Amino acid sequence: MTVIVLSNCPVGLRGFLTRWLLEVSPGVFVGSPSARIRSALWAAVDEYAHEGRALLTYTTDTEQGYTFETRDHHWQPEDHEGVTLIRRPTEGPTGPAPATRPPRQGWSTAAKRRRYAR
């Protein structure tokens, strides 16, 4: 089984992939092509995606039962003792959280209006 997920890619590339795979949702393609066809499809995705992102996953004879490849994703696959995991980049500073303003004390404006409306 092969799954290709495209984001921000040209429409022509989606049409090209529908020759061998079924588009089950916009940008999500599923099928069972041979390894040679799968590598040719991935080469075409890499060539024609331009600024778009792509993800390819397919079944293999590994501990997980599948493997995947990415193109222009911020999350990167990383091998950890034979198991492929995804490394997410850290966002912003890794120091302490920025100081937040404490909540205001007293009654809210809506509560004051309800109280005086009675």
**Backbone torsion region of residue 60, taken as left when φ is above 0, otherwise alpha when ψ lies between -120 and 50, otherwise beta:** beta
The model scores a pTM over 0.85: no
SS (H, E, C) 68-86: EEEECCCCEEEEECCEEEE
Q: Per-residue pLDDT for the chain (118 aa), expressed as one digit of tens each? A: 999 999 999 999 999 999 999 999 999 999 999 999 999 999 999 999 988 999 999 999 988 999 888 998 888 888 888 888 888 887 665 556 666 777 677 778 888 888 777 6
Please report, for the chain, how many H helices and E strands are present, in that order. Answer: 3, 7
Place of tokens 């911020």: 74
